[in-house]
């Protein structure tokens, strides 16, 4: 990722006050990011992509599809940003539907790993293809290729810097 030096730096973890103009920009930037996510998510929710499965269920299947060795419930929860209680119920429904399987963890006999069943993998791929086409059409409609590349960089920078500050 290429970024300007001042954009790629990890913000200092020590507390400091922002000037009023900076504080306003910081909050407006966050609000713009949040509102963009909400607007696009609403558009995705209104489409027929989610006939067989909800967006949250798809998010779990997609997350598990990226981990062939399976994941713990806590790992899935971290990747999908749901509450622990909500995640437990959602996973129970996916297991009941035969889309997710609980398997013993080879490293810890008390622990359970979650993985996709063949049916879960097939459904994730089918819905994933429809969702990817929808995402592509929306993003092409609202942003140029250069803007998408910049947005990808900025998103990666935010995630990287927040993750680095947490450790």
Residue pLDDT, tens place only, 35-88? 999 999 888 888 877 888 988 999 999 999 999 889 998 899 988 877 777 898
How far is the C-alpha of 100 from the C-alpha of 85, rounded, in Å?
Answer: 17
> Nearest Cα to 94, choosing from 145, 59, 141, 44?
59
Q: Which two tokens stand for residue 52?
A: 């067989």
The domain ranges of the chain are 21-166
pLDDT in tens, 2-22: 444 444 454 554 456 778 889
Q: Which two tokens stand for residue 129?
A: 């293809």
pTM: 0.75
Mean pLDDT score, 126-136: 93
Confidence of residue 124 (pLDDT cuts 50, 70, 90): very high
How far is the C-alpha of 103 from the C-alpha of 130, rounded, in Å?
Answer: 29
How far is the C-alpha of 25 from the C-alpha of 138, rounded, in Å?
Answer: 27
pLDDT for position 106: 78
**CATH architecture for the domain at 21-166:** Orthogonal Bundle (1.10)
């Amino acid at each position: 990722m290429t970024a300007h030096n001042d954009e790629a730096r990890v913000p200092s973890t020590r507390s400091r006050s922002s000037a009023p103009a900076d504080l306003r920009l910081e909050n407006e930037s966050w609000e713009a990011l949040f509102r963009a996510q909400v607007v696009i998510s609403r558009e995705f929710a209104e489409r027929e992509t989610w006939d067989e499965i909800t967006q949250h269920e798809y998010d779990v299947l997609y997350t598990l599809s990226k981990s062939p060795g399976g994941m713990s419930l806590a790992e899935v929860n971290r990747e999908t940003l749901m509450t622990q209680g909500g995640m437990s119920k959602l996973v129970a429904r996916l297991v009941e539907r035969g889309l997710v399987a609980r398997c013993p963890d080879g490293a810890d006999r008390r622990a359970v790993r979650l993985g996709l069943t063949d049916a879960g993998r097939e459904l994730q791929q089918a819905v994933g293809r429809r969702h990817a086409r929808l995402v592509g059409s929306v993003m092409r409609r609202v942003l140029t290729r250069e803007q998408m590349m910049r947005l990808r960089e900025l998103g990666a920078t935010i995630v990287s810097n927040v993750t680095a500050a947490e450790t």
